[in-house]
Structure 1
């Protein structure tokens, strides 16, 4: 519900036994009167921020209701992944491969993550404090942590 979204951080921090939080998107669509994913973007982001602020695992997206629309499912998963979701629930086995593919890192992401880790290790060994990738991107601790997260998804 709208109230649940407003209280997402309170819910996320209500007990140390909470592992993560998520949205009941069909219920929220009804409560808000929205018909498509665009109307859920802010609420999705709010739940992701609340989960991470509470130091919980990144949430999984709610199920995609149309089991025959795998292209729509893939697009929705890509949008959710871009917001910070790390997976999605499924309501039918036919959806599983589409979800898996959408949330696993791409070859390019894995390659870049490996390059980040390698460059940081090399710079550390050489005693260099500031390093950049060949494309000019300077690396910091947050980028290294993100690279480690990408690699953990493929290991």
Structure 2
């Protein structure tokens, strides 16, 4: 059963209040950020604060990922070493991955922890297939803000300037069986805009979306979950195909459309995803989920 990554929320590793509130949020995964969200003078203290919180607070069943600083900074290696054997951390997210060598460098310090790659540079886009093929890689995160900055492209609601990079990374992730989540939507008070961008990412095939505010979680969770209509169709496709097979036929017809084995495989994936979401939400609910309104701190 595939683990859901519908909503992947960034939490600053230096903010104790945010770290405390994160335990009650309905995000599928949390990226505890030591990079962009932490000022240089706070980097060392943030590392210690985050290590303490992850040791004392149980954020399960959410996926727990730590984004370290790059190895070209004064803090990256110490970040990786600090969380290499930390029991509260499931994976390490490596910023600005240009190629497999960047993952090799972190893997040498990060023990057996799975790695995730921030895909946010032009070189990273061109090397997406090689990055996705890395044996230690578990997932990819689109860093659309940094990518847009490097490309020098204009901001558009349809994200057309970013489509080449998004598509290349998505193809690479799917070719190698990696999780891949879409980039952030910056205007966190624009619920309609977020919903539209989530729908675009879901239609492309992304597993979920990275988020910058708790108020965005509910919209992302809804967008990247199978709808009731999709679940109903999946069940009916499987039933129709099984009935056809029982009659010695290789295909079925449902609602005027052919149902073949490949459709059944997709239908089974929809049902498995729906069940995985149900189980995760039941686990998160046990912690007392907070609903954060737009405009709340």
> TM-score of the superposition, structure 2-length normalised?
0.49
Q: Are residues 1:41 and 2:163 paired?
A: yes
State the Cα distance separating 1:133 from its structure 2 match.
Answer: 1.5
Match of 1:3 in 2: 123
Computed over aligned residues only, the root mean square deviation of the Cα atoms, in angstroms, reads 1.4
CA shift digits 1:72-129 (9 cap, x unpaired): 1100000010100111121111000010111111222111111111111212222211
- Mapped partners of 1:102, 1:71: distance in 2: 12
**Structure with greater helix percent:** 1
Q: Are residues 1:29 and 2:148 paired?
A: yes
Match of 1:151 in 2: 271
> TM-score of the superposition, structure 1-length normalised?
0.91
Given candidates 220, 223, 228, the residue that maps to 1:107 is 228
Structure (1 or 2) with the larger CA radius of gyration: 2
CA shift digits 1:31-69 (9 cap, x unpaired): 112212221122111111100111223x11122122111
Match of 2:174 in 1: 52
Match of 1:91 in 2: 212
Specify every segment of 5 or more residues in structure 1 that has no aligned partner in the other structure, as ranges. none
Contact persistence 1:74–1:98 (CA under 8 A): yes
Specify every segment of 5 or more residues in structure 2 that has no aligned partner in the other structure, as ranges. 1-120, 276-297
Moved over 6 A (4+): none
Match of 2:81 in 1: none
After superposition, residues 58-137 of structure 1 pair within 5 angstroms as 59-135=180-256, 137=257
